[in-house]
Amino acid sequence: MELTGRVVVLTGAAHGIGAAMARRFAAEGAAGVVVSDVDAAGAGRVADEIAAAGGRAVAVTADATSKTDLKVLVATARAEFGRLDVFCANAGAAFGTGVHAADEQWQRSWEINVMQHVHAAQVVLPAMLARGEGYLLITASGAGLLGIPGDAPYSVTKHAAVGLAEWLAITYRPRGVRVSALCPLGVRTALLEPGIAAGHPAALAIAAAAPLIEPDDVAEAVVRGLGTEEFLILPHESVREAFARKAGAVDAWIDEMAVQGG
């Protein structure tokens, strides 16, 4: 799907990857961009940047885990720009904890990294199916394909996000709705860099797996991936080879990851 003339909604778009995608979509000629985040000021800054560059954008304060708020985003897109073509469920969370993470951390990881995408699909699919066209982009992680030592809730829920995206693609691609899973490794964002600075095992493992890239690099990969409508969008091409290697020798892969986590 080409982005020119399309209307796009993004969650988690005040900073990092989400903000980079919002700016890039506008630069690609999107007819309108709905920039949403729990950080109202941050979302407003991104929308203002897009407008200053000649694009059309509106900021909406929204909690990506709330189906009610997601419905508001869809309604806003239609009210402001007349339609909705692409929904990017991008908000995410990581706590850097193991299997003994607090119940609240497991629950929050599940709500943001999985149920956000479930609710987004529930909200956007009816209209997209009625039109026979639409795109749902789920921001997962390379950790959702390869695993990551040191952060159990993140690894588990990102695997679930990839699994959900795959199910949606299998079910709805024949009916015109495209679905992609965005799976980067290390990106220079506030989600990762503090963990690297603190020497956290999960953050260090991600940083060691592939060179860190910028959010703008991810946005570039997304534009290419949406253009070709490929299911896995991999800003780090090395993830493709590593994923194939894991599939071919799972026990060896587990041993390798265990050494990294040690």
Indicate the domain borders of the chain. 7-261
Extract the tokens encoding 73: 């985003």
7-261 placed in CATH 2.60.40.2480: no
Extract the tokens encoding 69: 């708020």
C-alpha pair distances (Å), 113 with each of 1, 80, 116, 164, 210: 25, 28, 6, 11, 22
**What would the mean pLDDT of 4-12 be, rounded to a whole number?**
98
Taking the model in full, what pTM does it have? 0.93
Amino acid found at 140: A
Average pLDDT, the chain: 94
Predicted confidence at residue 249, as pLDDT, reads: 96
Predicted confidence at residue 261, as pLDDT, reads: 67
- Which residues carry out catalysis? 154
Euclidean distance between CA atoms 156 and 97, whole angstroms: 12
Please say if the pLDDT value at position 233 is more than 70. Answer: yes
Confidence tier at 54 by pLDDT (50, 70, 90): very high
Interval 119-141: pLDDT, tens: 999 999 999 999 999 999 999 99
